[in-house]
Amino acid sequence: MKTRGEKQYINMPSFAARLYDNLTSIKGVNKGFEDIALFLNKELKHGKLLDVGTGPGRLLYEISKQNSLLELFGLDISESMLVVARQNLQNIKNVGFRVGNIVKTEYATDFFDCIVSTGSFYNWDNPIEGLNEIFRILKPGKTAYIFESTKDYNKELLRVRLKQNLKGYNFARKALSKHFLKKQLSMTYTTKEFDEIVRQTFFYKNYKIEQIELGNLPIYVRLELRKQ
C-alpha cells in the first residue's frame, strides 16, 4: 500500500527524531503552537485532551503553560518521536504518551473532552478511518480540532511572511525550512478535499472548515469536528 508518510515515521531512527525537533524549532513554528494553545485555552478549561501525531510534544508543552488543569495525552506512531517528547515534557506531571495509530486506539469510547491534531493529518494513510476513531473516543457534545496546511493560499503573501519568519537564521536553516514546507504543501489537501473527506465520516453533520493564519503564515485551515 502506498503511504503518505506513516511508514517513514514509524521507522524513524532516533537521530532523525532529534533532528526533526531541532529543525522545526523556529520562530514561526513555535508561534503557531502558541496560537493554537491560546485558542484551545478559550475552548477548554478542564478535562482530558489528546494530541494526535504529537511528535516531539511541543504543542502539549505550550498547552500546559496556558492551562495546568488539563490532563494531557499524546499519541504518535513513532517511538523515537515520543522519546524526544518525554524529554521535552519531563517536568510536566499531568501528561502521558502512547505509541499508536489513530485509526485504531486503545482509548475508551467517549473518553476525551477535546482532541487536537496539528500538521499531522496530511500524512495519515487512512484519514477517514482516523476521523471516525476520533469520533468514537471523543465525548458527546465535545469538539475535535484539526489544524493543517492547505494548498489554498496566497503564494506572494506566503513568500513575504516566510521571509519575515526566517529573518536572522543562517542559510542552511532557511534552506531546510523552505524545503520541508514546500514538501508539506505539495502533499497536503485543498479545502475542497478536506470537505470531501469529512463528509465521509461520522462528523458529516457537524463540522466547519475555516482558513486561518498560524505563526504569521497564511497557509492553514482549522477543521472543527463536533460530536453530537
- pLDDT per residue over 105-145, tens digit each? 999 999 999 999 999 999 999 999 999 999 999 999 999 99
Q: How confident is the model at residue 8 (pLDDT cuts 50, 70, 90)?
A: confident
- Would you list the domain boundaries of the chain? 6-226
DSSP string computed for the chain: ---SSHHHHHT--HHHHHHHHHHT-SHHHHHHHHHHHHHHHHH-SSEEEEEET-TT-HHHHHHHHH-TTEEEEEEES-HHHHHHHHHHTTT-SSEEEEE--TTS--SPTT-EEEEEEES-GGG-S-HHHHHHHHHHHEEEEEEEEEEEEBS-S-HHHHHHHHHHHTTTS-HHHHHHHHHHHHHHHHHSB-HHHHHHHHTTSTTTTSEEEEEEEETTEEEEEEEEEE--
Q: What is the mean pLDDT of the chain?
A: 95
Q: What is the pLDDT of residue 19?
A: 87
Q: How confident is the model at residue 1 (pLDDT cuts 50, 70, 90)?
A: low
pLDDT tens column, 62-79: 999 999 999 999 999 999
Cα gap 64→33, rounded to integer Å: 12
Q: How confident is the model at residue 3 (pLDDT cuts 50, 70, 90)?
A: confident
Cell numbers linked to 49: 485532551
Give pTM, 2 decimals. 0.95
Q: Say which CATH topology domain 6-226 has.
A: Rossmann fold (3.40.50)
